[in-house]
Structure formats: C-alpha cells, structure tokens
Amino acid sequence: MVCYLSSEPKLQKDKGYAWLIMVLSFLSHFVSIGFTFGVIGNLTTIHSQFFNIGLQQSSLIGNIHTTTVFLFAPVASILVKKAGCRMTQIFGGICLILGLSLLSLATKQWHAICLFGILAGMGVSTTYVASSSILSVHFLKYQYFAFSFASLGSFIGNSVWPMLCQYLFDTMGYSRAVAYFSIFHILHVIAGLSFCEVSQSESEPIDEKISEAEGGVDAAGDKKLELSIIDGGYSNHAFKNTGEDAEENKKEETDSEDASPATVQQTDASSSVSKSLLALARLPKVWMLLVNFLLWNSCSNTFHILINDYLMKYTDLADTDVTWAVVVLGIAKIVGSLLVVALSSLQFDRLNLHFFTVILYSVMTVVVPYCTGKESCYAVIAVFGMSFAMSISNLLAVVTEFCHVDLIPLLFGLLLLSESVGGLAGTSLYTLLAVKTEEQYGLVLAGCAGVLGSLLLLPEMIRRVRGSEK
C-alpha cells in the first residue's frame, strides 16, 4: 500500500514531533484553564480593593470570565473546524495577551469586565479547545496518555497560579502584576506556531513501513492511521468530513464551476460545519453525553462553591482546618490526574472510567454533609478531589470514543457549552436552595443530579458490552 504525505514536514502519529505537541498542549492547559481557575479567587478580592467595589460586584467580573470560557467554546470549535488548530490557538493567545496587557491600564470595573471577563475569556476558550483538539490528530496509539498528560497541566496550574498570583500582587501591585500575566500567555502563540500545517500540493510516496511501525495496531487501525497522516492533522484538513460528505462536496464543486473560488470555499466550509452538527444531532448517545455533562458540572460546581462555607458553619473544623481541607482537595486532584496518566497504557472502555468517577464524586457530595469530624471530612474531600480529577483528565478520551476525529472539535465545544448551562442553571438552583434552607440540602440535591447524569449513560455502556460479546 502506498500513501502520500507532504515532503515538509515529514511527520507521523505517536512519534517525534507529536511529543513536542503534547508538551506544548500541557503548557497551554497550564496557562489557560489552570490560569483561569487558579487566579479567579485572588482577582475577586484584588478587584474589590483596586476598584473600590463590593465583593458581589467584583465576583461579577470572574463570573463573566468563566461563563465566556464555556459559552464561547462552540464558536472556538467552529474556528478549529474552519481555520485549523494553528490559527485558533494563535488567535486565542493574542486575545489573552491583549486582554491582560490592556487590563493593566484599567481604572473602572467595566474595563475589567470587557478585557478580562470577555476578551481574555474568549482567549482561554479558544486555546483550550485548540490545544485539546490537536492531540487527537497527532496521537493514535498513545492518545490516552497524551490526553491525560495535557489535562494534568490544568490541575498543576490550579495549584501553582494562586500562590504565584498572590506573590506578584503583593510585590508589584495590581497593574504591574496583570501586565506580567500577559507575558506567560505568549506561550500560546508559540504553541500555535508549532501546530504547523502540512502542505498537500507537494507530496511523495511512503511505503507500508508506516503501518508496520505501530506494531500492535491492527489492520483497521493501520488504515485509520494512514488516512489521518494523509490529512496531516496540523490544520483544518484533519477535521474535514470524509466518505459520503467528501463525495457530496465534490458534486457541489462541479455544480458551481461558474462561481468565484472565494464563494465556493466559503460555501463548502459552511456546509461542512452544518453537516457535522447535523451528524452529531442525529446520534442519541451524543444527547446522553450532553445531559451528562450538564448534570455532573452542576454537581461539581456546587460542591466547590458551598464546601468552604459548610465546613465553617456546620462542622467543628477551625479556620486553619478548613484551609488544610482546601490543600487536601488540591493534592487529591493532582494525584487523581496522575492516576489517569498511569492508566493510559491499559486497554479498557474510557466511558466506564467516566461513569464510575462521576458516580463516586457525586456520592461524596451527598455524603459530605453527614461528616462532622476532621478526619472524615478530609477523607471524603480527598476521594472527591481524586475522582473529580480522574473524570476531567478522562474527558478527551471519552469524546474520541463518541465520534469520528473530524467531529471531535465540534462535539468538544458543544460539551463545554452544556457544562456552562449546568454551571449557570443547575448551580444557581442548588445554591438558592442552600441559601433558603441549609447548605446540606443544596449539596445533597447536587450530588443526586450527578448520580442521575451518570445513570443516563447506562444504555450506551450496555450497548458497548453487548457489541463486544458478539
């Protein structure tokens, strides 16, 4: 068998240059999602002091930022589909650099809302989607390791950024510290430049050694690998539809010979996105996954919001003990993420891991209101943090098992949108219940919602088990 690959650069999945992409994706996660959820608490307090506003008004800036990160994800996924991971990553990096650089000149609250809340939020969203999607086209045999390793960067960022952020604020002040933040995000542009496109105009034959190099991959896997290499995987070519969609696009090109090249290209791109979205909408399992993401995210958000207040009001823990509980939670998340990295070489259905980890931390959310002692609280919080991190580190692997590689960016963006709906609607409902009654009722209801979200995946899990037995 002979396939064709661009003469520059000569790249293969799971080898050489792909590992550099994985490291850069890890660093991008560290300074995108890790940055967002690592500095959001510090910035809420600092914005309150700097702009001389209340904590409620100050928290609005952070809420808009996190909401933008998730709500903009479908747009970011379409950018990946149409422009490729490279341009999307660079665009996101520029948004972050501009947003944080100009934020250092801000003097009013609405400046921070526009620059950090919206512009920087768009940057985090696009870099997160691009740096995650690129892994699916660079890795096949070691994709689970790459996915979990990149996600580890966000959890390390969650632990490092709060300390680094507070140190810069204490030593340099708000304006200079925020300006220094923008320097870190140059890394996104560097990472984007590394997502180099493979030219398809000049190609040369490559023999069957490509498939032989993958050893344990079967014939079907080899065919999938070769097709992916032809696509290149470094631009939007890797996310274009194949098969019937390609034939339909070819017919459309024949019928529109008289149209201008720019018009034809724009029509094909729009048609490709529409067909991809329609293909996802026709899959019942995709809808199950969307509802699952909505419910588990509302559960985890409620836990993170209410746990500190609950521990201080309804347990015998002192303030220092509550602080240590947060430390235990952070350490447990890193351990959980490392466990997924360690499990990456094992062959099993990643949906099962997602199911059991979500069930586990949802149950811990229900159990924690009944813990009154320090040891029991620490144990429950540690199990929650570990299982939560394992589920997050496993998300990309789950997404790849639900659709073809060309649909991954769009599905990933839709899932992030579903998370935002769960975070806004579900968390607000549970928090309102906690305020009107007591915190434990909000936690219990949120935990039950997380369990329900996992149970919705049972039909898909049963279908896969039956399919493997045939």
- Of the two residues 159 and 8, the one the predictor is more confident about is 159
The one-letter amino acid code at 331 reads I
Question: Do 93 and 188 contact (CB within 8 A), yes or no?
Answer: yes
Does residue 344 register a pLDDT over 70? Answer: yes
Predicted pLDDT at 362: 95
Residues 159 and 336 sit within 8 Å (Cβ to Cβ): no
* Cα–Cα–Cα angle for 461, 462, 466, rounded to 5 degrees: 120
Model pLDDT, residue 250: 47
Question: What is the C-alpha to C-alpha distance for residues 144 and 77, in angstroms, rounded to an integer?
Answer: 21
Tokens of 116: 């950090």
Q: Is the pLDDT of residue 267 over 80?
A: no
Assess whether the previous peptide bond of 459 is cis (omega < 30° from 0): no
Question: Hey, what's the torsion of the CAs at 444, 300, 159, 333, to 10 degrees?
Answer: 80
3-class secondary structure, 210: helix
pLDDT band at 2 (very low <50, low <70, confident <90, very high): very low
Per-range mean pLDDT, top range of 206-210, 211-215, 243-247: 243-247
What are the structure tokens assigned to 347, written together? Answer: 């062959």
- List the Cα angle 186/161/61 in 5-degree steps: 85
Return the DSSP state at 5.
E
| Angle at alpha carbon of residue 422, lines to 434 and 160, rounded to 5° | 85
**Alpha helices, DSSP H only, in 407-457?**
408-421, 427-436, 439-455
Q: How far apart are CA 75 and CA 410, in angstroms?
A: 9
Band of the pLDDT at 430, cuts 50, 70, 90? confident
Q: How far apart are CA 253 and CA 20, in angstroms?
A: 37
Is the confidence at residue 218, as pLDDT, over 70? no
pLDDT at 67: 85
% of the chain beyond a pLDDT of 90: 34
pLDDT tier at 10, thresholds 50, 70, 90: low
Q: 142-155: per-residue pLDDT in tens?
A: 888 999 999 999 99
pLDDT of residue 467 exceeding 90, the answer is no
Tell me: the pLDDT tens digits for 78-134? 998 888 889 999 999 999 999 999 999 998 889 999 999 999 999 999 999 999 989
Share of the chain above pLDDT 70, in %: 81
| pLDDT value for 470 | 65
User: Per-residue pLDDT tens for 356-394?
Assistant: 999 999 999 999 988 878 888 999 999 999 999 999 999
Ranges of H-type helices in 173-281:
174-184, 186-194, 209-212, 219-231, 244-255, 261-281
Single out the residue of 113, 119, 71, 115 nearest to residue 93, CA to CA: 119
pTM of the predicted model as reported, rounded to 2 decimal places: 0.75
What are the contacts of 175-184 at 24+ separation with CB within 8 A? 175/104, 175/105, 176/104, 178/100, 178/103, 178/104, 179/100, 179/101, 179/104, 181/35, 181/39, 181/100, 182/96, 182/97, 182/99, 182/100, 182/101, 182/104, 184/31, 184/35
Question: Is residue 338 pLDDT above 50, yes or no?
Answer: yes
Note the pLDDT tens digit of each residue in 433-456. Answer: 877 777 788 889 999 999 999 999
- The string over 213-245, giving b where at least 16 C-beta atoms fall within 10 Å of a residue's C-beta and e elsewhere, is ebeebeeeebebbbebbbbbbbbbbbbbbeeeb
- For the chain, the first-to-last Cα distance in angstroms comes to 30
Structural domains of the chain, ranges and CATH numbers in brackets = 17-194 (1.20.1250.20), 283-469 (1.20.1250.20)
270 falls in which pLDDT band (50, 70, 90)? low
Residue 436's contacts (CB-CB under 8 Å, 6 or more residues apart) are none
Q: What is the mean pLDDT of residues 26-34?
A: 93
Nearest to 433 by CA among 298, 292, 297: 298
Write the pLDDT tens digit of every residue in 457-466. 999 999 988 8
Q: Tell me the per-residue pLDDT of 298-308, one tens digit each, with 9 for 90 and over.
A: 898 888 878 87
- Looking at every residue in the chain, the average pLDDT score rounds to 80
| Cα Rg of the chain (Å, integer) | 23
Q: Could you say which DSSP state residue 216 is in? A: T
393-431 burial, b at 16+ Cβ within 10 Å, e below that, comes to bbbbbbbbebbebbbbbbbbbbbbbbbbbbbbebbebbb
Partner residues linked to 3 by β-bridges = 206
